[in-house]
Amino acid sequence: MPGEIISSSKNPNIQLTRSLLEQSKARHKHNAFVAEGARLLEDGLASAVPLRFVFYKTSLTPRAKTLLEQIKPDQAVYEVEDRLFESLSDTESSQGILGVFDIPAPSQPAKPGFVVILDQLRDPGNLGAILRSAEAAGVQAICLPPGNTDAWAPKVVRSGMGSHFRLPLLRWPWEAISAYVEGLTVYHADMDGRESPWQADLRGRIALLIGGEAEGISPEGRSLATHSVRIPMVGKTESLNAAISASVLMFEVLRQRSQKV
């Protein structure tokens, strides 16, 4: 551990961390993102994603203290003055530890069978929740065409609960996504869809296309969809939010594929 505590906001790593927390442009310029909290740092350290450095403050939670003791001696770890760390923290109740990691180069499957395409999703919490559910449901890759909120923003990373370290996130243009899902049946989640997910056969090679609540899917997404599917509802609610809709559909795929033939 370093003998000197970082106390200056002009420290280069402090400035880098602040820019990564605040600016999408900085995250993609430096190809890095921030994972704050012991749970996310544990997931990051357990993955193959390169760690750049760790910041911690003196007053740590017990879990963060235990994690700090497990970090390898050759990894860069810096103690930060409490007030300065708090000025960086993006959470209301900070655990006093964060890591800066490389944005990983995705290792997507060459011949995918279960892909999710997110189209014009603006809400960071919804995006993170979808990533968490997608990993749990066995999705092989997430396609992120232009128009989505930044998948590496702090709120998305927190909501994703470690999925960023394990799930391929393909930030590609529509042309590349179209080529990648060629041969897959693309189901657009639509409240006016032709069939319910329980009627649709979701056991083959498919992609689920999920649009944002505000604008739905883009013209590019609409041209890619080959089928539409609706989620039946009996109450007076007109629609579900994107994260709930996506989760219902992803786990229906998992249910159908888990059934014995």
Rounded distance, CA 228 to CA 78, Å?
51
Predicted local distance difference test score (pLDDT) of residue 224: 96
List the chain domain ranges. 12-102, 114-258
The answer as to CATH 3.30.200.20 being correct for domain 12-102 is no
pLDDT digits (tens, 9 = 90+) for 160-188: 999 999 999 999 999 999 999 999 999 99
Q: What's the mean pLDDT when you consider all of the chain?
A: 92
Residue 2: pLDDT band with limits 50, 70, 90? very low
Q: Strands 227-229 and 185-189, how do they pair?
A: parallel
Token pair, residue 63, equals 């879990």
Amino acid of residue 170: L
Cα–Cα dist 26/29, whole Å: 5
Listed in sequence order, the DSSP H helices in 124-241 are: 124-137, 154-160, 174-180, 219-224
The residue length of the chain stands at 261
pLDDT tens readout for residues 65-96: 889 888 888 889 999 999 999 999 877 777 89
Our measurement of the distance from residue 32's CA atom to the centroid of its chain's CA atoms, rounded to an integer in Å, reads: 14
Class of the domain covering 114-258: alpha beta
Q: Is-contact 208 248, C-beta < 8 A?
A: no
pLDDT above 90 covers what percent of the chain?
Answer: 77
Map tokens 């001696």 to a residue.
73
What are the residues whose beta carbons fall under 8 Å from the beta carbon of 138, sequence distance 6 or more?
Answer: 114, 253, 254, 257
